[in-house]
Structures are given as structure tokens and as C-alpha cells.
Amino acid sequence: MTEKTLLILANSFKNQGRCIAGREIWLKEGRASLGCWVRPIGNHTNGELFETEWHYPDRSPLAVGDVARVKLSRPTNDPGQPENWVLGGPWQRVQRAALPGLPLEETHADLWPGFETYTDRVAEEEIKKSPPLHSICILRPEGLRLVFSTHHKVQWNKDQKRYRAHFGYNGRHYALSLTDPVWTAKYADKVPPVGRQPLEVVVEGTPLISVSLTPPFNGFHYKVCATVIA
């Protein structure tokens, strides 16, 4: 069992639970320094955190920007998600952090190359052959647009809302699933029905986003926009 203090930088939907991730942080004399990414996961199902596992003991939820201390039982040594640790105890809130004052932006040449047909996924075989050094990062996108629409799923015979984040990065265009619960909730009631023009929201300023690789599903690791920090 080990204990780490994390600056929470991703809070994302994952199946019926949440995916929480952050960077290890050290606070000393009013200054903060950042370390590696850590993604605490549940020791069950697909690793998502159940409701009691992404709340503090007082039942308030973890939020992006929180500095929180947590016990972790062991690393999972998952080649596709090297940041994963099994959650070992309840969260303890340390403080809120001033996000704009910290060097959060990371620089990467691309977002997990290896499968050139699509920009929103990487083949599972590619990950097995060449495991990534990271499966989550913070970047500054170009022209971030959030697109909300509804599509009819024939195989389920039901309508389904779709949330996507469109942006440019290093000369490539990405259209990734948006799994940020804050931004999706903000526009959930405004999503147009099937056949109507999608709702597009331009995120003003110079926002940051956390982008993550999912566990494998039907032969692919999908890239998702986990959190928008605007």
C-alpha cells in the first residue's frame, strides 16, 4: 500500500462509473511541483470507479482542480494504460489548486499513432506491439468545438445522443468522443433530435483538454476527450 497526493485533471464517464486521473503533486512553501500521471481504478469489472469511490467520505464529489490524497494498493502494470493503480482507500481533500498558475500543458508530436485509417482509435495489436509511454495527456487544442447530436441506433432500435470534441493538433484534425460529465450535462437538454442540425459550441479562449486512451473494445483503444479545462 502506498499513498499519493494528486492534482485531479480528468473526471470522465466510464461505463456506469467514472475514470479519475491526475498528476502527482508536491506542495511546499506555497509552491507546487508536478510528477507523473496516476489513474486510480476500481478492483472490479472494467476498472471504473463506482459512486462511493469517486466521492470523499463526506459524499462530496471529486472535481477537476482538487488536490487529493489517496491510498493505492498496487500498480496494474497494464501496457495500454501504464498509469493505472488499484484504489486502496478513501480520498482525502487537501485543497483546491489555482490551475492557471501551474504548467499543465504537455507537448506531444501526435496522439498515439499506429492506425492511420482513423484518428480516433488505435488498433489493440499496435498497442501490444508498441506499448505507449502514457495513455493520458493534457494538451492545448486548436479551434475546439463541441458537437452535440442524436443518432438512431438500428441495432438497438433506439435514439442515442452523441457528444464529440473537434479540434486540431499538430496539423491533424480530431473528432473524439466527449466524456466530460460537466460539459455534457451543460448541454444535455439542448441536444437536437434525430434529423436536426447538430448543436455546435465553440469553446472560447485557449482551453486545455485531457485526452485519454480507453481500454480495448472490439479490437481498438479509443481516444476520448475526457475533460475540458476552460
Do the domains at 2-101 and 121-229 have one common CATH topology?
A: yes
Spans of all domains in the chain: 2-101, 121-229
* Domain at 2-101, CATH from 3.10.28, 3.30.390, 2.40.50, 2.60.20: 2.40.50
Average pLDDT over residues 213-222: 93
Following DSSP, what letter does each residue of 156-220 receive, concatenated? TTEEEEEEEEEEEETTEEEEEEE--HHHHHHHGGG---TTSPPEEEE--S--EEEEEEEEEETTE
In this predicted model, what pLDDT tens digit does every residue of 14-57 receive, in sequence order? Answer: 988 999 999 999 888 778 889 999 999 998 878 999 999 999 99
* pLDDT score recorded for residue 117: 66
Confidence check: pLDDT of 1 > 80:
yes
* pLDDT score recorded for residue 116: 60
Average pLDDT over residues 178-201: 95
Could you say which architecture CATH assigns to the domain 121-229? Beta Barrel (2.40)
